[in-house]
Structure 1
Amino acid sequence: MVDPIGIKTGAVTARAVSSVNALNRVTEAGTVEKAAPVVQTAASELTANMAAKPPVDSERVAKIKKAIEDGNFPLVPSTIADRLLALKMQWNPNE
């Protein structure tokens, strides 16, 4: 027999919670063992740099705002409608 996939009814077993980034580890003898220092990789440096800055290009936003105020920004209603419809077609409410 095949078990169904999904939520199973019944009692939830106890789950233990443990720290992932523990700095020190206690051995069975009760002594504290120092963990190895965290190595900074290129990916973690990139992540830290990206997290430090806002995800918005403020210079580009300022240029667009200025162009809209001056009437130089090309707003084409049919293009806006086409892109909104494309987004709607790609949107899946079940994800």
Structure 2
Amino acid sequence: MPPIEVGPARAIGAINARLARKAGGETLSGANGVSTEKQAAPAVEKSPALDPGPAPVDTDRVQVIRKAVESGTYPVIPTQIADAMIAAGVLLRSGKQ
């Protein structure tokens, strides 16, 4: 396999504003008084089939836990935390959910 050539390394420094304008498709406002002009973004059609909907969060339970943590009464059991971390790692490696 042939070697991959990356090209010459450049010194780290400020970006070239002219290149940033070309890549971003807009002019940047700066000390020279250039105004910001954005180009219209291309329209993207979103499929409702890909919408995951709202996150399944039990807000009442979150409030109870938050109050317990703030008051210092939330039980922190290191062995249960470790077991859950190990189980999560096993699930990630096995691919079964």
Q: TM-score, normalised by structure 2?
A: 0.39
Q: TM-score, normalised by structure 1?
A: 0.39
